[in-house]
Every structure is written in structure tokens, then in C-alpha cells.
Amino acid sequence: AQSVTQLGSHVSVSEGALVLLRCNYSSSVPPYLFWYVQYPNQGLQLLLKYTTGATLVKGINGFEAEFKKSETSFHLTKPSAHMSDAAEYFCAVAGGSYIPTFGRGTSLIVHP
């Protein structure tokens, strides 16, 4: 069985501030972890993923995430938020099934 919890349905930051979106997972097997972004009226787009190897994963648009097995976490960060980062972000886990399990999503709001 696998599951994902995204803490905070909405996160609000100022432009230029640090972005931190939290994701905790549960998996009965070594997990594969993903972050996707969804802009309004669009499908989901992969930001980054962890499969094996280095636990700090760098993705597109300056985002990165760190896999922490002891904390069962895969938090997404970006040093400096940009207005264009405003979107819905989804964390997902796979491993026990070919089908990833998605979290409920976190809406990132960026204030000027």
C-alpha cells in the first residue's frame, strides 16, 4: 500500500521568498517519488522525480527536493519564488503499483 500526505492545501509566499511545499509518504516498498505542477486549465507536468541514488534531486524551474527515508518525506523547495510559480503542486509516490498515488495538492500563491 502507498499513500501521500501534502501538508497545507494553500501556501502563500512573497516574490523572492523561499518556497517550501511539504510531502510525506507511506510505502511498503522502496518508493519512487514525484512532484508535478499544474497550471490553470492544463494537465500535470513533471517537475522532478526520485528513483534511486542521490537523495537531493534537482528539477526544472529551479525547484529541488530531498528524499529523507528516516522522515518519509520528500519536500519541495525553491530558494526564490517567482510570480510564474503560482500553480497547484502535486506530490506522488509509486513502487507498490504501476499507478502512482497522488496527494491532494498544494496551491502556491505568490504575492508581489
Partner 1 sequence: KAGVTQTPRYLIKTRGQQVTLSCSPISGHRSVSWYQQTPGQGLQFLFEYFSETQRNKGNFPGRFSGRQFSNSRSEMNVSTLELGDSALYLCASSDGGSHKETQYFGPGTRLLVL
**Half-sphere exposure of 60 toward its Cβ, with a 13 Å CA cutoff?**
9
CA 35 to chain centroid, in Å, comes to 4
Smallest distance, partner 1 to C-beta of residue 70, A: 21
> Is 94 within 8 Å of 2 (Cβ atoms)?
yes
Q: Does 97 bind partner 1 (CB under 8 A)?
A: yes
Q: Does 67 bind partner 1 (CB under 8 A)?
A: no
Contact region with partner 1 (CB under 8 A), list: 18-26, 32-40, 59-67, 77-85? 32-40
Contact region with partner 1 (CB under 8 A), list: 14-22, 61-69, 74-82, 96-104? 96-104
Nearest-10 Cα torsion for 60, 46, 10, 86 = 50
Smallest distance, partner 1 to C-beta of residue 16, A: 30
Question: Residue 71: what are its φ and ψ, rounded to 5°?
Answer: -105, 0
Smallest distance, partner 1 to C-beta of residue 18, A: 26
Question: Residue 111: what are its φ and ψ, rounded to 5°?
Answer: -95, 140
Residues of the shown chain interacting with partner 1 in the complex, contacts defined by CB under 8 A? 32, 34, 36, 41-46, 49, 51, 90, 94-105
